[in-house]
């Protein structure tokens, strides 16, 4: 390993490319709305349940499904927080604008 943990091969190393690929995939999914992420997740589950998917593809679909599930959970948590803020506003507690880091 060299400075900053990139290694001798630098950004061309398989380990670095694998990590960067995960970051790109997470960014791609992070922009999805709840409905879009849920639709993709349902599609993945249907294809996996068909029993016609080779093992390597099954693993890739499982990984993508896990990322989509995290997106759905985050969107639901954001909605829950917004509802709580609206309840507090109705009860007379000071209200501050709701902003999420993830958007959507």
Residue 16 or residue 45, greater confidence: 45
Residue 96: pLDDT band (50, 70, 90) is: low
Rounded to whole angstroms, the Cα distance separating 13 from 24 reads 16
Q: Which range among 16-20, 30-34, 51-55, 76-80 shows the weakest confidence by mean pLDDT?
A: 16-20
C-beta separation of 76 from 34 below 8 A: yes
Residue 50: pLDDT band (50, 70, 90) is: very high
C-beta separation of 66 from 41 below 8 A: no
Does the global pTM surpass 0.95? no
Rounded to whole angstroms, the Cα distance separating 54 from 25 reads 21
Domain residue limits, the chain: 1-30
């Amino acid at each position: 390993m060299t400075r900053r943990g990139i290694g001798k091969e630098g950004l061309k190393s398989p380990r670095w490319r694998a990590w960067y690929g995960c970051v790109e995939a997470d960014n791609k999914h992070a922009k999805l709305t709840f409905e879009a992420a849920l639709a993709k997740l349902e599609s993945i589950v249907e294809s996996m349940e068909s029993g016609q998917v080779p093992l390597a593809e099954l693993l890739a679909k499982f990984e993508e499904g896990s990322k989509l599930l995290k997106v759905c959970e985050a969107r639901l948590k954001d909605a829950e927080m917004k509802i709580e803020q609206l309840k507090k506003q109705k009860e007379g507690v000071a209200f501050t604008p709701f902003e999420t880091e993830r958007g959507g």
